[in-house]
Amino acid sequence: MSEQPAWPLPRVGRIADFLPTDEHRALLDWVLASEGRFRPAKVLGTGPKGIVDAETRIALTSRDFGPLRSLLEQRLFGALPQLEQATGCKAGATSLEMELAAHGDGAHYKPHVDISTGEGRRVVGAKPGEDRVLSGVYYLHRHPKQFTGGALRLFRMHVRPSSGPVGREDYIDLEPVDNSLIAFPSWTTHEVLTVRCPSGAFADYRFALNCWFCRRL
């Protein structure tokens, strides 16, 4: 055991063609019809409800999945054993938190982790007392694709980009492939690279279903 080994890159779970065609279509239709339900994304702040901080994150989010919620929960929980195996992260999840995110031109999310750490940390799981253990991102967008960028950058364990420059060997970039699901330990530092969407039309955005498998620590 050591506190300063050669820290590894995180293991990533990836499932291509995650949803059947009709379900992928239904979710995309729901998102495209839901523009009015999206609000500016918040980030973890000192308060209980989070804050809008455009320096850190620009995106629109919604937690309204309409009639698709239970189906999506079922699909995601069904994939959990495969994701645990792939990531080496035994989530032991008892609940699931989900969010829809829409990334238009200029959208990004600076390096962060999905849990609160340090003294006085605040657990942020789906249910009181639970915390996020395994994070997932399911990507979807219209075809032909009308945006560029928006890759998910996962940093080597223990690397803190805020503390200084990082080398190319210190991260991996994962492209947002339509109908694919990616998972990684929630405490992995990660970033959403800036999206370019010249049309500015909501329908052309990069969409994602962000999810967190949670349990009481």
Partner 1 sequence: MEQEVYQRAVELLEADINDEMVALEPTKGSCFGFNAIATEIWRKLERPRSFAELRNELLSEYEVSDEQCTRELRELIDGMSRAKLIERAPA
Q: Report the interface residues with partner 1, using CB under 8 A.
A: 1-5, 7-8, 10-11, 87-90, 115-119, 121, 131, 133, 157-158, 185-187, 217
List strands edge to edge, sheet with 39-40. 13-15, 181-185, 130-140, 206-216, 95-103, 60-62, 39-40
* Tokens standing for residue 114: 């999905």
- With beta carbons less than 8 A apart as the criterion, state whether 157 and 113 touch: no
CB nearer partner 1, residue 108 or residue 156: 156
CB nearer partner 1, residue 63 or residue 122: 122
Write the CB contacts of 107 (distance below 8 Å, at least 6 apart in sequence).
Answer: 58, 59, 150, 192, 194, 195, 197, 205, 206
- With beta carbons less than 8 A apart as the criterion, state whether 132 and 112 touch: no
Tell the smallest beta-carbon distance from residue 8 to partner 1 (Å).
Answer: 5
Query: From CA 84, how far away is CA 96, in angstroms rounded?
Result: 14
Tell the smallest beta-carbon distance from residue 23 to partner 1 (Å).
Answer: 29
* Tokens standing for residue 133: 């253990």
Q: Quick one: which of 104, 183, 211 has its CA closest to 149?
A: 104
Tell the smallest beta-carbon distance from residue 212 to partner 1 (Å).
Answer: 12
CB nearer partner 1, residue 69 or residue 160: 160
CB nearer partner 1, residue 21 or residue 162: 162
Tell the smallest beta-carbon distance from residue 7 to partner 1 (Å).
Answer: 7
CB nearer partner 1, residue 2 or residue 70: 2
Tell the smallest beta-carbon distance from residue 129 to partner 1 (Å).
Answer: 12
Tell the smallest beta-carbon distance from residue 168 to partner 1 (Å).
Answer: 20
Query: From CA 136, how far away is CA 209, in angstroms rounded?
Result: 8
What's the N-to-C CA distance of the chain in angstroms? 22
CB nearer partner 1, residue 201 or residue 217: 217
